[in-house]
Amino acid sequence: MLTKTASHEADRDRTEAADTLLEVEGLAKSFKGTVALHSVDLSIRRGEFFTLLGPSGSGKTTTLRLIAGFERPDSGSVRLDGRDVARLAPFKRDVNTVFQDYALFPHMSVAENIAYGLEAKRVAREERGKRVAEALRMVQLERFADRSPSALSGGQRQRVGLARAIVNRPRLLLLDEPLGALDLKLRQEMQLELKHIQEEIGITFLYVTHDQEEALSMSDRIAVFNDGRIEQIGSPSEVYEKPKSEFVAGFVGTSSLVERGGDRLVLRPEKVHIARSAEAFTGEGWHVETGRIAESVYLGLYTRHIVRLDAGETVVSVEQNAEGPASTLAAARGQPVTVAWRKANVFALPGERQTMEKQT
């Protein structure tokens, strides 16, 4: 799946210019003197699943609302298929939104909710009925057409929200933390379903979330937001394996930062190995150090060790419990261990433009 997406993307790269659906340039917005968005540039390709990822208040939702037309930008442009829509009303843009709180009209049935956009666009009754039925089928709610939204569960409501948006066949679908109100298990199911629907209908998705796992598992590309700016745009593996800033390294996945030879290295826990002695790490390409176990936590699938390096920093290492809970290490506090990582697997942060206090 992942490799398929990756090769897909390589194909797309070649035809990028022709295939750009949305182009955002210099988008800025402040609310009552507080800057919410400094100057955001991004470009989204046709058919892409593009995610805006960041903590709350980082500007990701503001960006979505500016693209939807719920807010007017202070400056900058939002070009949809080449046409600047930044200052148009929401009903004059060929985009639709799936809301975090569903925003289903409580006085209408499920089918009436879904038909709302088609009615507004004066789609003929017969065609309307056909498209509503098709949308209901797509979200597997055929049986619920005449129910009131209040009679549905959270997951079902959000499916109605999705159907109500995609039935209009927008050029771009905006999803504002659509799974934020659901519990973990349902959220994971819905993630898969969303992804399948997106592949089936081929509509471009712009997805907003603060959940890095969700972003990694669903997206073709991710824009990581921090403090009203985009820190990095890239595929999930690029953002995870080659974070361009300390913030990205800390927000997407967990990582330890160490400074070696003037480079600030991002150490992902799964790439940090520990053993009783250095003998385990013979051969080319290893960087080997010593330290002591500060804490070990058994977590079922793996055990997480926090190791204090003799050089001073603390790093996190995870060890799969492949041989059962009796780990290869007697995980005792203060146990001296050898810590090692392959030089090829760790990534140095570029430059020193990042400030330290941004790490969360």
Partner 1 sequence: MTTAEWPATRTGGGGLRRLSALLWRRPFAALSALVVPPLAWFLLIYIAALAVLFVAAFWSVDPFTGEVVRDFTFQNFQDVATLPTYRHIVYRTVLIAAAVTVTDAILAFPVAYFMARIAGPRLRLVLTTLVVLPLWSSYLARVYAWRLILAHDGALNWALSLVGLPSLAIGYSNWAMWIVFSYIWLPFMIMPVFAALERVPNSYFEASQDLGGRGLRTLRKVVLPLAMPGLVAGSIFTFSLTLGDYITPVLVGGPGSDFIGNVVYANVGVANNIPFAAAYATVPLVMMALYLWLARRIGAFEVM
Q: Considering only CA atoms, which of 228, 173, 230, 172 is closest in space to residue 20?
A: 172
Which residues in 110-129 contact partner 1 (CB under 8 A)? 116-117, 120-121
Residues 55-94, interacting with partner 1 (CB under 8 A): 68-70, 89-91
Q: Classify strands 172-176 and 95-98 as parallel, antiparallel or unpaired.
A: parallel
**Amino acid, res. 213:** E
C-alpha span between 115 and 129 (Å, rounded) = 8
Q: Which of 33, 106, 202, 283 binds partner 1 (CB under 8 A)?
A: 106
Residues ≥6 apart with Cβ < 8 Å to 171? 21, 80, 81, 94, 95, 203, 204
Q: Between 100 and 188, whose beta carbon lies closer to partner 1?
A: 100
Closer to partner 1 at the Cβ: 108 or 280?
108
Interaction of residue 107 with partner 1, rule CB under 8 A: yes
Q: Does 226 bind partner 1 (CB under 8 A)?
A: no
Each residue 251-290 as x (binds partner 1 by CB under 8 A) or -, in order, gives ----------------------------------------
Q: Which one, 101 or 134, has the nearer CB to partner 1?
A: 101
Q: Which stretch binds partner 1 (CB under 8 A): 48-56, 104-112, 139-147, 310-318?
A: 104-112
The angle subtended at Cα 145 by Cα 181 and Cα 97, nearest 5°, is: 45
Do 71 and 18 meet the contact criterion of CB atoms below 8 Å apart?
Answer: no
Beta-carbon contacts of residue 143 (< 8 Å; ≥ 6 apart): none
User: How far apart are CB 101 and partner 1 at their closest, in Å?
Assistant: 6
Does residue 101 interact with partner 1 by CB under 8 A? Answer: yes
Q: How far is the CB of 144 from partner 1 (least distance, A)?
A: 18
Neighbouring C-alpha atoms within 13 Å toward the C-beta of 254? 10
Q: How far is the CB of 195 from partner 1 (least distance, A)?
A: 23
Assigned token pair, 105: 């009209």
Instruction: Provide, rounded to whole angstroms, the least separation between the CB of residue 38 and partner 1.
Output: 24
Q: Quick one: tokens of 254?
A: 């967990």
**Quick one: CA dihedral 11, 14, 19, 24, positive or negative?**
positive
x-or-dash pattern for partner 1, window 23-62, by CB under 8 A? ----------------------------------------
* Binding-site member from 58, 61, 97, 156 for partner 1 (CB under 8 A): 97
**118-127: long-range contacts (C-beta < 8 A, 24 or more apart)?**
118/167, 118/168, 120/91, 121/168
Tokens of 284: 């080319």
Smallest gap, in angstroms, from Cβ of residue 133 to partner 1? 18
Is the CB of 29 or the CB of 164 nearer to partner 1?
164
Binding to partner 1 in span 148-207, by CB under 8 A = 164-165, 168
Question: Rounded to whole angstroms, how far apart are CA atoms 226 and 223?
Answer: 10
Size of site (CB under 8 A) for partner 1: 23
Question: What is the binding site for partner 1 (CB under 8 A)?
Answer: 68-70, 89-91, 95-97, 99, 101, 103-107, 116-117, 120-121, 164-165, 168
